Amino acid sequence: MGLLTPGLGLLFWMLLTFSVLLFVLGKFGWPVVLRMMKDREENIRQSLEAADKAKLEMQQLQCNNELLLKQAQEDRDKMLKETKLLKEQILEDAKASAQKEAQRIIADAREVINYEKLHAMTELKNQIANLSIEIAEDLLKHELSDKQKSNEIIEDRISKIKL
């Protein structure tokens, strides 16, 4: 037998050893390897599904974030608009209140002016009346110093009075 051709006994034992090894591996080794490969394949599939789900969730979260951001901007704009309207309302109320107060002050001032005017006119009338009385007294004293003239004036006044 040569180096290149093995002997029949060696072939038999190699074939028997290979068959036993193949049987043992087929019975105990391959199912474990196949199960591990299936488990690994399942893990990879689950990981891919989880990645797809995560990708979808990220897209949904991005959409939700965009919607929330948009809504927050709308709320901010709405609040700014309401604040502006409130400011304008407060200013209008303040103006109206100031106008009412100014009108009240003007009315009070007019009332005081009218009161002072009436008081001054009354005072002036009183002074004029006092002066008139004093002038009349002086004139009457001077006129009534003459008895005859005073009797004529009295009779003239009595005749003008009609009962």
Rounded Cα distance, 158 and 163, in Å: 10
With respect to residue 1, please indicate whether it lies within any of the assigned structural domains: no
- Residue at 7 is within a domain: no
pLDDT of residue 5: 76
Residue 96 lies in a domain: yes
Residue bearing the bigger pLDDT, 150 or 88 = 88
Q: List the alpha helices (DSSP H) in 25-146.
A: 30-144
Span 102-111, pLDDT tens digits: 999 999 999 9
Measured distance CA(131)–CA(151) in Å, rounded: 25
pLDDT of residue 154 exceeding 60, the answer is yes
> For residue 141, is pLDDT > 80?
no
pLDDT tens profile 27-71: 988 888 889 999 999 999 999 999 999 999 999 999 999 999 999
- Do the domain assignments include residue 2? no
Q: Which two tokens stand for residue 78?
A: 């709405």
36 lies in which domain range? Answer: 15-160
* Torsion 23-29-32-38 (CA) sign: negative
How many folded domains does the chain comprise?
A: 1
Any domain includes 3: no
72 domain-assigned: yes
Average pLDDT over residues 73-98: 94
Residue 70 domain flag: yes
Q: Span 118-126, mean pLDDT?
A: 90
Whether 5 maps to a domain, the answer reads no
- Entry pTM: 0.40
Average pLDDT over residues 141-152: 71
